[in-house]
Amino acid sequence: MAMLEFTDVDVHYGQVQALRGISLSVEEGEIVALLGNNGAGKSTTLSAASGLAHPSAGTITFNGKDISQGKPWDIVADGLVHVPEGRRIFSTLSVLENLQIGGFLVKDKTLINKRMKRVFELLPLLEQRKSQQGGTLSGGEQQMLAIGRALIAGPKMLMLDEPSMGLAPLIVTAVMEVIREVNEQGTTVLLVEQNARAALKVTHRGYVLENGVTTVTGTAAELINDPRIVEAYLGA
Ligand code: ATP
């Protein structure tokens, strides 16, 4: 059984149909990339899984449970956590306060402290900067904070929306390495990226989305060698 499974999912925003019968799956332990151009429906796919947009047709399951019409907070409590595009950190709150917000559904304080310790081991920078205001961090640091905050929620699966956006190449590499490490420590990852080259370095499998449907799917190696992908997403 797949950890996350979309079967023939449609999503509409009023008259606009953003997803047209999407089917995809993510197995436990994987990093799966969702690639595609602007407006292809990548963010909508994540929003549908996290309960921010509900399908008008089809089903979404997480660990076998139908979450198609689920509430965002219930889905987070089930272990599916979304890091939205643009990080959305709280700029006037400190790094530590931002991290604590990630634990808002977690009642057990010792569990939060344990996760905080793990986040600081993975991202030592956040510990060094814990009293700094979130909004004064660099773009890359804010992305690390957004990932750290999501980890405090204790995700079984993390969905990241364009973590490389607006970052310099070296910082993109650092963010991708953090994603790889999070995965190696046991968290499954669904990664939305326009930067296919960076994403395919760390992912196991991928899907290409065009106009609300998945058009190509394969292992990272298959996608890197697929002439359609090379031409459209990797540059000649
Ligand atoms: P990007 O990389 O630019 O974020 P994307 O692949 O994530 O693109 P989506 O943001 O999922 O694409 O958008 C898919 C389609 O749905 C687009 O045509 C977009 O204009 C439309 N759309 C997205 N959000 C809304 C909304 N809240 N209301 C109306 N239409 C929307």
The pTM of the full predicted model, rounded to 2 decimals, is 0.94
Kindly state the average pLDDT of the residues 76-99.
Answer: 93
Q: What is the pLDDT of residues 104-150, one digit of tens each?
A: 888 899 999 999 999 999 999 999 999 999 999 999 999 999 999 99
CA nearest neighbour of 114 among 154, 56, 64, 164: 154
The Cα 122–Cα 114 span in angstroms is 13
Centre of ligand 1 from the C-alpha of residue 41, in Å: 6
Domains annotated on the chain, with CATH: 4-87+153-234 (3.40.50.300)
Counting ligand 1 atoms within 8 A of each CB, the residue from 24, 43, 191, 213 with the most, and so the one to mutate, is 43
Rounded to two decimals, the ipTM of the complex is 0.93
Ligand 1, atom nearest to 43 Cα: 7
Is the Cβ atom of 84 under 6 angstroms away from ligand 1? no
